[in-house]
A and B are shown apart, each in its own frame.
Chain A
Amino acid sequence: MTAQPLVKHDAALPTGGPHPHRTAGRLGRALPLVPSVLLLATFLLGPVIWSFYGSFTNSALSGPNAKNPQFIGLKNYVDLMNDPVFPLSLIVTLVFVIVSAIIGQNVLGMSIALLMQRANHVVGSIVGTLVVAAWVLPEIVAAFIAYAYFSNDGTLNQLLALIGVTGPNWLFSFPMVAIILANVWRGTAFSMLVYQAALQDVPTEITEAAMVDGAGGVQRLIYITLPMIKTSISTNLMLITLQTLSVFTLIWVMTKGGPASASSTLPVLAYHEAFQFGDIGYGTAIATIMLVVGAIFATIYVLLLRSEDQVK
């Protein structure tokens, strides 16, 4: 079991190997790849290309522009730049990703994994199960639970009342706080599992040697453990960033992006523009921007793994 997502297998394993059918040409051997190539090209590559093209049209949900959209050049992008909601949505997305994923899930996941090494085994596995439970539930169920928890007469305010505080209407007054906490609750399991696996692969000898040399717990963490799992940290950060970037259901059920656009991340905004205002072209322009942002992160992720040479 290695920490890294992409597991390097035994070097002795025969990629290549002898050729079963010398008569069958190279093309014949690639034949089993055809169904996957067709599916990926039609349903993933197709929409991505369509996204770039569609963002230059005035395609609409209904009416004459639904079936025969016109090419309108950069108008959607110009409109986006002039739309006050768009910069707000960018900021909301950025805050959501940084606070709930990069800080929240990442740090909490790492902390839980580190604490588990110290703590009682039974306590560790029970807490691990609870953290994973929030993550295994279907997203719509997790979203309802979060909605109930943060609603005005919900559990959080009930708990606050116990200590004499009258809680606010979280979903309305502090929608960002609510969706960020909900996303930390929902997604921390991923980081925890990654770091649990990574920490198991740090050889005890090294940390013990450092301990003999007099390094304290914090020093050992900063100078030994963290550098040794840095690949796991960077891949985890990339993946949770991309996952959080595409969170829709949680926000949609909890706040619908509101009030006004106060918690409207890019996916919610794209949905709103495309399917509620019926402006598919405009929504597609937002989708294209998300794709570009996602592609940048994905490229960094792939390059990171390639530097480790884990793809054969």
Chain B
Amino acid sequence: MTAPITKAGPGTSSRASRRASGVSVALPGKAVPRLLANVILIVIGLCFLIPLVWMVLASIDPKASYQTQVPQSFTLSNFSAVLTPELAFGPLWNSLLLSLGTAVITVVVAVLAAYPLSRYQARYNKPFMYTVLFGTTLPITAIMVPVYSLFVQFNLLDSLWGVILFMSAAALPIAIWMAKNFMDSVPISLEEAAWVDGASAMKALRVIVVPLMRPGIAVVFIFVFIQAWGNFFVPFILLLSPSKQPAAVSIYAFFGQYGAIAYGQLAAFSILYSVPVIVLYVIISRGVGGSFALAGAVKG
């Protein structure tokens, strides 16, 4: 999933709707289209909602199936059944290691790269940024077979670090792009003062630029974290031992073994695994964004 983050998330369309209501005042007789728009939107919303309802209802249903049904009795046993070290804690811990490692490396490397790209005019800037832009569109699925061969050659197969480095590299193009755009909006005047005082470029970056672009860094960090957390294909191919696999892969193995019987547990496990990214998404779209307007973050 190449997930962009835009400011125009749900709930930010107030400007547009205000405008639309202004229009309807100017032209009476717009009430019917407006009602129609509401009805169509509600129908679309239901179509998107219904598949999700199954997961929520099945997770608290002791007799869950693939059908969407209101449980006759309420239970948390599905959750307690999967909340064991082997099923949930171990894999979730691995997910956390993978995502944190990937996010930290990506952010540090991207911010470092963004500094010269944002602050100096050099001949390599444009070609570099075009290469980065090109890289953001690279279909990662397409290179998984050659990546596997490469990992075999370098003896990196089944190595957590290998996977972290690969996922960082895959996230880097978009992260550099975002970091440079965020850095561009930090005024250079403060750094100039520091330079006059004899601070090195790296010190200026650490002491002045990074603190000023903290919201931007948070956005890049969360963005990369969400992608790494949800990634199934990369660890599925590159990690072999079950003890190293993240939740995405272990949940798939669980589904393969018990999917046809333990629907409720599958749903419960899915919810537990999804909650962190939902929370992070809410933070990123409501909180951190704020005044910083995630403009620079939009990829598409």
Contacts and interface: CB of A to CB of B under 8 A. Distances in A.
Interface string B242-267: 00000010011001000000010010
A125 B34 CA distance: 15
B75 interface: no
B185 A9 contact: yes
Interface stretch (B50-58, B78-86, B213-221): B50-58
Interface in B157-199: 165-166, 168-170, 172-173, 176-177, 181, 184-185, 187-188, 191-192, 195, 199
A148 B23 CA distance: 43
Given A15-B121, A131-B48, A149-B54, A59 B11 contact: no
A260 interface: no
A16 B45 contact: no
Interface residues of B, number: 130
Interface residues of A, number: 129
Contacts of B33: 118, 217
Contacts of B185: 9-10, 13
Given A127-B42, A132-B10, A138-B248, A235 B300 contact: yes
A33 B192 contact: no
Given A138-B273, A197-B7, A43 B137 contact: no
Contacts of A77: none
A284 interface: yes
A129 interface: yes
B226 to A, nearest CB: 8
Contacts of A48: 138, 143, 146
Contacts of B45: 123, 126-127, 130-131
B142 A18 contact: no
Interface in B251-293: 251-252, 255, 263, 266, 270, 273-274, 277-278, 281, 293
Given A29-B122, A284-B146, A294-B138, A124 B13 contact: yes
Contacts of B49: 130
A197 B44 contact: no
Interface in B1-55: 1-4, 6-17, 19-20, 22-23, 26-27, 33-34, 37-38, 40-42, 44-45, 47-55
A59 B270 contact: no
A120 B113 CA distance: 44
Interface in A1-28: 1-2, 4-7, 9-10, 13-21, 24, 26
A285 to B, nearest CB: 9
Given A29-B120, A243-B2, A275-B237, A158 B145 contact: no
B252 to A, nearest CB: 6
A144 interface: yes
Interface of A: 1-2, 4-7, 9-10, 13-21, 24, 26, 29-33, 35-36, 39-40, 42-44, 46-48, 50-51, 54, 59, 66-67, 108, 111-112, 115-121, 123-141, 144-146, 148-149, 151, 153-155, 158-159, 185, 188, 190, 193-194, 196-197, 199-200, 204, 208, 211, 217, 235-236, 238-240, 242-243, 245-249, 253, 266-267, 270-271, 274-275, 280, 283-284, 286-287, 290-291, 294, 297-299, 301-302, 305-306, 311-312
Given A35-B108, A51-B146, A246-B141, 10 more contacts: A14-B188, A33-B116, A133-B48, A148-B51, A149-B54, A154-B54, A155-B54, A211-B26, A217-B33, A311-B129
The 3 closest A-B pairs by CB, nearest first: A128-B10, A43-B169, A16-B121
25 contacts: A7-B298, A17-B121, A30-B116, A33-B117, A35-B112, A44-B172, A112-B44, A116-B41, A126-B45, A127-B44, A128-B13, A133-B48, A139-B1, A139-B232, A140-B232, A140-B248, A141-B55, A158-B68, A208-B26, A238-B137, A239-B137, A280-B145, A291-B143, A302-B130, A305-B133
